[in-house]
Amino acid sequence: MMDDNFDDLLRDAAQTYNQPPEIPREAMWAAIERGRAERAVLPIATARRAPRWLTAAAGVAAVLLVGFAIGRMSRGPVASPATVASATPDAPRAVPLSSSPAPTSVTPESSTREVEATPSARRLASIRESRAAGLRLRTDRANSAEQLGDQASYRMAVVEHLARTEVMLAGFRSQVRSNADARVDAQFASLSRDLLATTRLLLATRRGDDPAITRLLQDLELVLMQLSQYATDGRRSDLDAIEQSMEKHNVMPKLRSTIPAGFSSTSGT
Amino acid sequence: MCNARLPQHGIGESSNVVTDQQLVARCIAGDRLAERALYDAHVERVYRLAYRLAGDADLAQDFTQETFIRAFDRLGQYRGDASLATWLHTIATSVSLNGMRSVTRLRTRSTPIDDVPELPATTVRAAPHDLRERLHASIDALSVKLRPVFVMHDVEGFTHEEIGNTLGIPVGTSKARLFDARAKLRAALAMFAGDATT
C-alpha cells in the first residue's frame, strides 16, 4: 500500500521531469527542409557509399594479402644471385648455394648486363629470381626430408606437389579445350618447368617403397616435359602428344586418387 | 496508429483522413503536402520524447529535425509492420540516445573541475519541493537501459508494447526495466517515503 502511494507520488512528480516547452514547429520544419536540401546536393563521392558486401570483401582480401605476405616472409631469405644463375632454364639442376657472399660470384659479364638491363630484363630477372627461390625451397624441403629420413615428410611433399600439378594440368587442359588454336599462357610454360624440376628432385630423393608413386612421378615427368616443350614452341603435334600421354598413363585419375580428399594445393605448407 | 489529414488528391476518396501507408506512399511519390502532413501529425510526440530524453530545448530541436530528415530519407524502408508513429519513435529514440551519449562524452571531457556542483555532505530532511529535484536528479542518474523505459512509460505514457517495439526489446524486458527503474528511484527517494504515506 505504501509502495502504491509512493509510486503514485513518483508518477506525479515525474510529469515535471524535463517538461517540454512550446514546440517550435515552423522553425524545425524550415530546418528539416534545409537539411534535406543540403543532403540532396552532397557530392556523389560523399553520398555514394560502397555496398556493405564490398567493404567486407575488401577486408577479407586485405587479411588474405597480409597473411600471404607473412607467409612469404616466413619462408626464409630470398635466393641470392648465385642461386638465380644456377636455376635458369639453361641449367635446370639446382646447385647448392656457395657460402661466399653473393656479389663475388657474379661474373663481370653478368654485372655488365645488370648495369645495362632494361625494365623488361629486370622483370625477367625478378621472375627468375622468384622461380629460383621456389626451386630452392623445394630443394631444401626435399633435402630436409632426406636428412630426416622421414617417409611421412616425403609423402607430404609428394602429395603437395601432386596437388599443384593436378591443378596446373586441369587448368592447362581447360584452356586448351576452350581455345585450341591459340597458344597457352606463358605462365604454363614457367609453371610446367618448375613442376618438372620438382618432379625430378622428388624422383631423385625418393624415400619410399611405393612403386605406384614412383611410376606416377615418372609419368608426370614425361607429361610435364612435353608440356614445357609445347608451351615454348606451340606446335600442335606436341599438344596431341601431351593428350596421348595423359590418356595412356591415366595421369589425371591417378593424380586424383593419390591426392587425399580435402587436400588442396594451398593447404600444404 | 496516427492518421494524418491532408487535402484530397484522388477521386472517390470519401474522407481526407489517410492511413500511414497512403501517407507514406504519397511522400515517396514526392508530395510535399503529404510530407508536411506527416510532420504535423507526429512532430509533437517526437519532440516531447526528444526533450524528455535530452532535457534541453536546442538538443531536442536538433534531435527532432534529425529524426524527420532520416525518416524522409528512409521512408522507402518503412514496411508497415509497426505503426508509422512507432517507426518514427524508434528513430527518435535512437537519434536522441546516441546524441546524448556524444553530448555527455563531450561534457565529461570539457567541464572544468570547479563547475562540478557540490553535493551535500550529510542528508538533511528535505522539504516537499525537493522531492521533485531529487527525483529528476535520480532519473538522470538511471542507466541508459532503464531511463528511456521509465521516461517513455511513466512520463510520456507509452505502453509496454509501444516501448518494446520502439526500443526493440520484448514486452517482458520493458516491464522488468520499469520495475528496476522504479525500485532504484524508490531507494533514492527513501527519505520521502514517510511523507508520501501520511
CA dist B106 and B102 (Å) reads: 6
With CB atoms and an 8 Å threshold, state whether A20 touches B155: no
With CB atoms and an 8 Å threshold, state whether B69 touches A39: yes
pTM of the model: 0.48
Q: Angle at Cα A22 formed by Cα A17 and Cα A28, nearest 5°?
A: 110
User: What pLDDT, on the 0 to 100 scale, is given for residue A90?
Assistant: 46
Cα-Cα end-to-end distance for chain B: 41
User: Any CB–CB contact under 8 A between A37 and chain B?
Assistant: no
From chain A, the residues in CB contact with B47 under 8 A are: 20, 23, 28
Contacts of residue B35, Cβ cutoff 8 Å, sequence gap at least 6: B27, B72
pLDDT digits (tens, 9 = 90+) for B13-57: 444 567 888 889 999 999 999 999 999 999 999 999 999 999 999
Residues A86, A88, A89, A90: is their CA dihedral positive or negative? Answer: negative
Q: What is the full DSSP assignment across chain A?
A: -HHHHHHHHHHHHHTTTT------HHHHHHHHHHHHHHHHT--HHHH-PPPHHHHHHHHHHHHHHHHHHHHHHTT-SPPPHHHHHHTSTTS-S--PPPSS-GGGGS-HHHHHHHHT--HHHHHHHHHHHHHHHHHHHHHHHHHHHHHHT-HHHHHHHHHHHHHHHHHHHHHHHHHHHHSSSSPPPHHHHHHHHHHHHHHHHHHHT-----HHHHHHHHHHHHHHHHHHHHHHH--HHHHHHHHHHHHHTTHHHHHHHHSPTT--TTT--
With CB atoms and an 8 Å threshold, state whether B52 touches A17: yes
With CB atoms and an 8 Å threshold, state whether A17 touches B139: yes
CA-nearest residue to A27 within chain B is B61
From chain A, the residues in CB contact with B185 under 8 A are: 10
Low-confidence ranges of chain B (pLDDT < 50): 1, 8-15, 119-127, 197-198
pLDDT digits (tens, 9 = 90+) for A29-76: 999 999 988 877 655 545 556 667 777 777 888 888 788 777 777 765
Minimum-distance CB partner of A29 among B39, B66, B186? B39
CA dist A161 and A269 (Å) reads: 11
CA-nearest residue to A35 within chain B is B69
From chain A, the residues in CB contact with B43 under 8 A are: 23, 25, 28-29
User: Any CB–CB contact under 8 A between B141 and chain A?
Assistant: no
Residue type, A105: S
Contacts of residue A132, Cβ cutoff 8 Å, sequence gap at least 6: A79, A83, A84, A86, A87, A88
Cα separations in angstroms, A110 against A129, B66, B95, B147: 14, 70, 70, 79
CA distance A50 to chain B (A): 18
Rounded to the nearest integer, the mean pLDDT of chain A is 71
CA distance B93 to chain A (A): 15
User: What pLDDT, on the 0 to 100 scale, is given for residue A224?
Assistant: 86
ipTM exceeds 0.95: no
Q: Pairing state of beta strands B4-5 and B17-18?
A: antiparallel
User: What pLDDT, on the 0 to 100 scale, is given for residue A141?
Assistant: 62
More confident residue, A61 or A146: A61
With CB atoms and an 8 Å threshold, state whether A20 touches B150: no
Q: Are A40 and B158 in contact (CB under 8 A)?
A: no
With CB atoms and an 8 Å threshold, state whether B131 touches A28: no
User: What pLDDT, on the 0 to 100 scale, is given for residue A162?
Assistant: 87
Q: Quick one: cell of A129?
A: 629470381
CA distance B147 to chain A (A): 12
User: Any CB–CB contact under 8 A between A53 and chain B?
Assistant: no
User: What pLDDT, on the 0 to 100 scale, is given for residue B51?
Assistant: 95
